[in-house]
Amino acid sequence: MDQIELISLPNGIRVVLEPMPYVKTAAFGVFVGVGSVCETKENNGISHMIEHMLFKGTESRSAKELADITARLGDTANAYTGKEYTAYYGVTVAEELSKLMEVLSDMLLHSVFETKALSKEKGVICEEIDMYNNSPDDLVHELAQKRAWQGHPLSFQISGTKGIVRGMTREKILTFYKREYRPDRMVLSVAGAFDKKEVIESLRSFFCPGGQSAAAGIKKDDLAPDKRYGKYYGENRSERKMSELVETPVQNRPAAEYTRNFSKSYQDTSQLHMNLVFPGISYLDEKRHIATVFQSVFGGSNNSLLFQKIREEEGLAYAVYSYGCPYAKEGLVHIDAVTAPNQAESVFDYALEVCDIMRNQSVSEETLVTHKALIRTEAILSKESVQSRMEGNGRSVLLRGRVVSQEEELKHIENVTAEDIREFARQVLCPEKMSVCLVGETRSAGQKLMRKFEQLG
């Protein structure tokens, strides 16, 4: 593995560098520990709005000029907002890396949030909200999480609601931006072909000229010490390795409390989208490696128990799978299935049957070997591009406080036993804690599934 290095700029922004001299491209990303979990009911969607607005013009460049420049760099500059962080990134040829970093820094530090552009972008985001609300695949997931974490910011839809979006003012957006886009919440990640010395000099010039912070012109001395990053936070220090950083949550917030519930939303479709939800674990939990193997065996692949039972053996659903949604202090485990309404009860019953198998029977050694091999192959394939390396490193430092190497992860995976998986299933797949969310043709199946749900509780 190439040497990955963690350093810190003088203002406290963390930087992770992974040289890949055998390629001709480079990827750069800015990861900010700000997402919908930082919001309130009154400003829900503001993190997503800021992500959009940073592409709409800076003090020295119009939106069109930004688009022209990023097109010449490969047209890969993009961004996304999550519940716990926002990412801005791009990939280009090695000789244009400095320009890509400069353009993204200009967007992050010098966007003007022009009122006319804001008005237009509100319309774009409202269209985006409609698009998601009209998609049963997306809506069933959003509704399931909203009901499971009622009242907590983790229940918020990342894009917000149309009413709140339309009411956002430039002043409110700037206030949130200045407060939340802080150096201690930023990680810069570079992977690919680059000269380390040149990259560090460029990042210092772009992100902390004169020793100032990266966001909103806040000076370093204005920032209060934050124990989350230990002795490495708040010091006037030069670039150096930060290997002693420990795993820490990005957000200093109360954990969300899980609420068991049954919810449904009718849409005029011929199918029923069913999402079964269980309380899961955090991505910092020591059992997270067990959870990875568990998900693969349970419903994460075409060779999983859910897929083989419901799709292959019974032919009841085209799509059926499970997935985990871990966050800093909590998580959920989902089962998702798309089926005909008249087959919904059977899908529900077979899903519970597979849950029972996972809780009470040990997976075979052959199954364990197969899924560990699958996880290993997927992990290696996912690390083949400069973008995946850059994103993986940036998220790891932001969310865990350090880079977790692929070798370390795979070693933990290899140590997972059949008994570990069964014990994890017993912890998570509890029918009496399960929630149910239905979207689509709910009129006939909804009442029947509600009765089954009530009997479990």
The pair of three-digit structure tokens given for residue 174, joined into one six-digit string: 């700037």
Q: Which of 419, 440, 303 has the alpha carbon at shortest distance from 362?
A: 419
Tell me the pLDDT tens digit for each residue of 208-243. Answer: 877 554 444 333 333 333 333 332 222 333 333 333
pLDDT score, position 405 = 85
pLDDT score, position 242 = 39
432 has a pLDDT exceeding 90:
yes
Helix (H) or strand (E) holding 424: helix 418-428
Q: Which CATH architecture has domain 5-229?
A: 2-Layer Sandwich (3.30)
Cα 145 vs. chain centroid, distance in angstroms? Answer: 14
Tell me the pLDDT tens digit for each residue of 269-327. Answer: 999 999 999 999 999 999 999 999 999 999 999 999 999 999 999 999 999 999 999 99
Residue 364: DSSP 8-state = P
Q: How far is 445 from 443, CA to CA, in rounded Å?
A: 6
The pLDDT of 348-363, averaged and rounded, is 97
Least confident residue range of 219-223, 366-370, 378-382:
219-223
Query: Helices 63-72 and 97-110 sit at what angle, rounded to 10 degrees?
Result: 160
Question: What are the residues whose beta carbons fall under 8 Å from the beta carbon of 175, sequence distance 6 or more?
Answer: none
pLDDT score, position 452 = 95
pLDDT score, position 404 = 87
Tell me the pLDDT tens digit for each residue of 179-211. Answer: 999 998 999 999 999 999 999 999 999 998 775
441 has a pLDDT exceeding 80:
yes
Tell me the pLDDT tens digit for each residue of 389-419. Answer: 999 999 999 998 889 888 899 999 999 999 9
**Virtual CA dihedral for 258, 181, 382, 305, nearest 10 degrees?**
10
Tell me the pLDDT tens digit for each residue of 81-108. Answer: 999 999 999 999 999 999 999 999 999 9
Burial class (CB in 10 A: 0-12, 13-18, 19+), 430: middle
pTM of the model: 0.90
Provide the 10 A C-beta neighbour count for residue 167: 13
Residues of the chain with CATH 3.30.830.10: 5-229, 262-456
The 8 Å CB, 24+ separation contacts for 219-223 are 220/10, 220/11, 220/12, 220/183, 223/12, 223/182, 223/183, 223/184
Q: How far is 112 from 114, CA to CA, in rounded Å?
A: 5
Q: Which of 327, 353, 364 has the alpha carbon at shortest distance from 452?
A: 353
Instruction: Tell me if 181 sits within 8 A of 32, measured CB to CB.
Output: yes
CATH code of the domain occupying 262-456: 3.30.830.10
Q: Which of 4, 107, 120 has the alpha carbon at shortest distance from 54?
A: 107
What is the residue-averaged pLDDT of the chain?
90
pLDDT score, position 192 = 97
Instruction: Tell me if 317 sits within 8 A of 343, measured CB to CB.
Output: yes
